[in-house]
Each structure stands twice: as C-alpha cells, then as structure tokens.
Amino acid sequence: MVPRSIAACQTTTPEPFRRSERETAWKHDLAEAYRQADDLLAALGLSPEAIPDLDSAAPGFRMLVPRAFAALMTPGDPRDPLLRQVLPLGAERLSVAGFSRDPVGDASADVGSGLLRKYAGRALLIVTGGCAVHCRYCFRRHFPYAALGETPDRTAVAMASIAEDPEISEVILSGGDPLMLDDDRLGALLERLHEIPHLKRLRIHTRLPVVLPSRVTDALCRLLAGSHLATILVVHANHPSELGAQAEDALQRLGRAHLTLLNQSVLLSGVNDAVPTLVALSERLFECGVLPYYLHQLDLVEGAAHFAVSDAQALRLGEALRQRLPGYLVPRLVREVPGVGSKIPLIDSARIGSPLL
C-alpha cells in the first residue's frame, strides 16, 4: 500500500528528537495520566472541599485523565466544563428510573466476538476496551469488555463474519478507543480488513486526537493514509476548550492525510448546554478541519443522570444553532434508541417514546 501523502503528515518535531521516541511518546503521556481525583484537583489549585459531591473512590469506573487534557482546564474553577466531564461524583451512585447499564442495546446487537450489527450495511467491531480518558457519561462504562478478551482468535472470528456477508460495505472500529492499539496491532487489523473485497469504507471512532493528541504521529498518519478504503475519522469533542493548539495540530495533520474528519458531541448539563458554547464548538471544529456530525442526546446509562438535559431544552438549543450557524456547521440533534435501525432525529423521537421529553 502506498500512502496518499506522506509529506502532508510531517510534524514540526525537532530532528534531534529520535523517531522511536517521537512515535511512542503518547504511551509515556498515557502512563503519566491522572488517576486520582486529589492529584488532578491539586494540579488545578483546588481542594477536595471545593467539590462537595466528590467521590474519590469511584467504584467500578476509575478516573483517568491525560495531563494534556487537564492542562486545558481553568485552574481554580470547580465548575470547569472539562473537569466536569471526568471528575467522579457521588451522583454516579444514584439509581435513577430509566437509566440502565446497556442504554443503546449493545448486548442484543452483539453477534459474537465483539461484532455488533445494528444498521444496514454496517458492522461495528469493538477492538479494545481501553480508552485514554474515562468520561463519566460514557454509554459503555458498564460494558463487559473482559468477557470479550483481546485474542487473535476473536479477531479471526469477527473478520470471518464480515467476510461472509457481502452486504457489509462499511466497518466501524470502536471500543474503548481503537487508537489505543499500537501501530503494529492497528496495522495488522487494517490489513485483514483490506483483504475483504466488498468493504468500501472504514470508520474509526476515537477521542484520542482531542484528549491525547501525541497519539497522532507521522507513523499513524502514514498508516491511515495508506488504506485503500475510504477512511472516516469520527472524533469526539464536547466543548471548544478541548480543542487546544495540540489537538488542532493533530486534527489538521490527519486532514492533510486525506481522511474525512467528523465530530460527534454529547449534550451535557453543565458542560455544553448553552447556545454560545455550542456555536463556539462548531466554529472551532471547522478551524481544526472537522465538520460537526452529531449532537447526541445523552444515552441513559446508569451513573450519568446528572448530565441529562431535557428534550425540550435540547430542541430549543438545536433551533438556536440553526438560526446562528450555516447549515454545514449545524450538527444533527439525535437520540439512539435500542432496536431502531438508525439514529433518530430528536424532533421525531416522541413517536417511539422519550423518557426525557
């Protein structure tokens, strides 16, 4: 495979920095991530007492925050929207009606070996349970990754399933985060997908270019640019402050590697449930070479009820965005409903039932 554009992926890293170090720096950065709430708060000049509902124990879903992401938070601000996304709170322990451990029906869509079939012509493959950041609203925070395992046999079974179904034209790599795989493992996976003749598109859902931009190396750019499949990278940013200079550089280099870049956000109370914030997010994404794709109403996952925004408020926000932005910068406001063969525009979701409407 010949990369489409190697030169386009070049970084500005000084030559004395050895290639082997440059290409693996992201692993060091991940190893240095904050794993204790007190350590993160101390770095921000905050005491634990500034967060009355702080839950440092976070049973079952530990905290994980890369330092590059934490550096974008406002020191001294206990209500910082980036901090709110990652800081474990006691509210996560509350049992709230309508919120479940499998809010989008992954279990019923699993056809084995981590392969999910929800939508016509597409198959989603969970390639790892690892992430670089633990977002407290994650819809897969209770997913049984350990039951899947990460073995060559599992991958082989999933690939055989895809190869046997000529109706599948697009494979979606998900997780966890697919870019948590190192280049060798990711490259081996892509090679196997390239061998399946009826595949046309590869979609990768990832948060790493935003929260751990050092993962976007020259080698990764070359690897993704070399695919003969049309490759779409769907990133995840919820607030314009997440898109600092490092994330912007990472995203623009991925764009120069001829990848289609889209963003999906989640509407979150106390994070981005305001018109100016959402407008600024769309405009900042465009500056980084990314088009807004979806604005998701919160998946009703157990432990995340404190992030919920009512449907009525979400619809008001969506209408305000249409009034303020050109159409190509307005994300589609949607909800995912288990058992339904597509994302549902929020304006239409009442016909199938909506617990927050």
Q: Cα angle at 201 between 199 and 205, to 5 degrees?
A: 125
Give yes or no for residue 353 having a pLDDT over 80.
no
16 confidence band (pLDDT: 50, 70, 90) = very low
Which domains does the chain carry? 97-352 (3.20.20.70)
pLDDT for residue 105: 86
Binding residues: 131, 135, 138
272, 282 Cβ separation under 8 angstroms: no
Show binding-site residues for [4Fe-4S] cluster.
Answer: 131, 135, 138
pLDDT band of 5, cuts 50, 70, 90: very low
Burial class (CB in 10 A: 0-12, 13-18, 19+), 270: middle
Confidence of residue 7 (pLDDT cuts 50, 70, 90): very low
Non-local CB neighbours of 147 within 8 Å, separated by 6+ positions: none
Confidence of residue 21 (pLDDT cuts 50, 70, 90): low
Residue 6 CA: distances (Å) to CA of 9, 10, 189, 253, 287: 6, 7, 21, 10, 22
Which tens digits make up the pLDDT trace of 258-288? 999 999 999 999 999 999 999 999 999 999 9
Nearest to 309 by CA among 98, 317, 349: 317
pTM above 0.85, yes or no: yes
Q: How confident is the model at residue 339 (pLDDT cuts 50, 70, 90)?
A: confident
Q: How far apart are CA 93 and CA 95, in angstroms?
A: 7
